[in-house]
A and B are shown apart, each in its own frame.
Chain A
Amino acid sequence: MQTPAPVEYARATSVGDAIALLEKHGDEARLLAGGHSLLPMMKLRLARPEILIDLNDLDELRGIRIEGDEIVVGAMVTHAEILDSPVLAEHYSIFREAEKVIADPIVRNKGTIGGSMCQADPSEDLSAVGSALKGSVIIQGSGGKRSLALREFHEGPYETKVGDAEILTEVRFPIRPGAGSAYEKVERRVGDWPVASAGAFVVVAGGVVKDCGIGLTAVGAEHFCAPDAEAFLIGKAPTEENLSAAAKLAADACTPYADQRGPVDYKLHLAHELTLRVLRRAVASSQGA
Chain B
Amino acid sequence: MTAVEEVPLSAAGNPIGFGSMRRVEDARFVRGQGNYVDDVNLPGMLHSAILRSPHAHARIVSIDASAAEALPGVVAVITGKILEGIPRPSLLGDNFAWMPTLSYDTQAVLATDKVRFQGQEVAYVIAESRYIAKDALELIDVDYEVLEPVMDAKMALDAGAPIIRDDKGQTDNSITDVHGNKTWESGNAESTAAAIAAAKADPNCVVVTQEIMYPRVHPAPMETCGSVSYLDKVTGQLTMYTTTQAPHAHRTVYAMVAGLPEQKIRIISPDIGGGFGNKVPVYPGYVLSVIGTIVTGKPVKWIEDRNENLTSTGFARDYHMTASIAATKEGKILAVDVDVLADHGAFNGVAQPTNYPAGFFNIFSGSYDYPDAHCKVTPVYTNKAPGGVAYACSFRITEAAYVIERVVDCLAQELQMDPAELRLKNLLRPEQFPYTSPTGWEYDSGQYEKTMRVAMEMAGYDELRREQAEKRTRGEYMGIGISFFTEGVGAGPRRDMDILGLGMADGIELRVHPTGKAQLRLSVQSQGQGHETTFAQIVAHELGIPPEDIEVLHGDTDNTPFGLGTYGSRSTPVSGAAASVVARKVRDRARIVAAAALECAPDDLDWELGRWYVKGDRERGKTIAEIALLSHSSLELPEGVEGHLDATAVYNPPSLTYPYGCYICVVDVDPGTGQVKVRRFIAVDDCGTRINPMIVEGQVHGGLADGVGMALMELIAFDTDGNNLGGSFMDYLLPTAVECPDWELGETVTPSPHHPIGAKGVGESATVGSPAAVVNAVIDALSPFGVRHADMPLTPANVWRAIQGNAIRVDMAIE
Contacts and interface: CB of A to CB of B under 8 A. Distances in A.
B228 interface: no
Contacts of A5: 135, 138
A32 B377 CA distance: 54
Interface string A260-272: 1111011001100
Interface stretch (B300-308, B517-525, B568-576): B300-308
Contacts of B364: none
A258 B717 CA distance: 14
Nearest to A44: B307
B796 interface: yes
Nearest to A48: B138
B558 interface: no
A186 B672 CA distance: 11
Interface residues of A, number: 28
B730 A193 contact: yes
Contacts of A44: 307, 728
B717 A260 contact: yes
B305 A186 contact: no
Given A1-B303, A3-B134, A262-B795, 20 more contacts: A2-B306, A3-B131, A3-B305, A5-B135, A44-B307, A44-B728, A45-B138, A186-B675, A189-B712, A189-B713, A189-B738, A190-B738, A193-B730, A260-B717, A260-B814, A262-B796, A262-B814, A263-B808, A269-B800, A273-B673
Nearest to A277: B672
B731 interface: yes
B721 interface: no
Nearest to B224: A1
Contacts of B305: 1-3
Interface string A1-18: 111011000000000000
Interface of B: 38, 130-131, 134-135, 138, 303, 305-307, 672-675, 712-713, 715, 717, 725, 728, 730-731, 733, 735-736, 738-739, 795-797, 800-801, 804, 808, 813-815
B813 A260 contact: yes
A259 interface: yes
Contacts of B713: 188-189
Contact of B130 (A1, A45, A261, A269): A1
A207 interface: no
Contacts of A266: 674, 796-797, 800-801
B733 A186 contact: no
A3 B138 contact: no
A241 B725 CA distance: 40
Given A262-B795, A266-B797, A190 B739 contact: yes
A270 B673 contact: yes
Residue in A259, A260, A261, A270 with the greatest tally of chain B CB atoms within 10 Å: A260
Contacts of B672: 273, 277
Contacts of A278: none
A69 interface: no
Nearest to A40: B730
Nearest to B49: A3
B814 A263 contact: yes
A189 B733 CA distance: 7
A192 B733 contact: yes
Nearest to B731: A260
A117 interface: no
Residue in B307, B713, B733, B739 with the greatest tally of chain A CB atoms within 10 Å: B733
A2 B673 CA distance: 36
A207 B674 CA distance: 33
A163 interface: no
A86 interface: no
Contacts of B738: 189-190
Contacts of B674: 186, 266
A83 interface: no
Contact of A189 (B306, B739, B801, B804): B739
A195 interface: yes
Closest 6 CB pairs of A and B: A262-B797, A190-B738, A3-B134, A266-B797, A189-B733, A186-B673
A177 interface: no
Nearest to A273: B672
A262 B810 CA distance: 11
A264 B560 CA distance: 57
A156 interface: no
A193 B733 CA distance: 11
A189 B717 contact: no
Interface in A152-173: none
A258 to B, nearest CB: 5
Contacts of A193: 730
A260 B808 CA distance: 11
A234 B725 CA distance: 43
Given A6-B135, A45-B138, A273-B672, A258 B814 contact: yes
21 contacts: A1-B130, A1-B303, A1-B305, A3-B305, A5-B138, A6-B135, A189-B712, A189-B735, A189-B739, A195-B796, A258-B813, A259-B814, A260-B715, A260-B717, A260-B731, A261-B814, A262-B797, A263-B801, A263-B808, A266-B800, A277-B672
B796 A258 contact: no
Contacts of B736: 189-191
A263 B130 contact: no
Nearest to A43: B305
Contacts of B717: 260
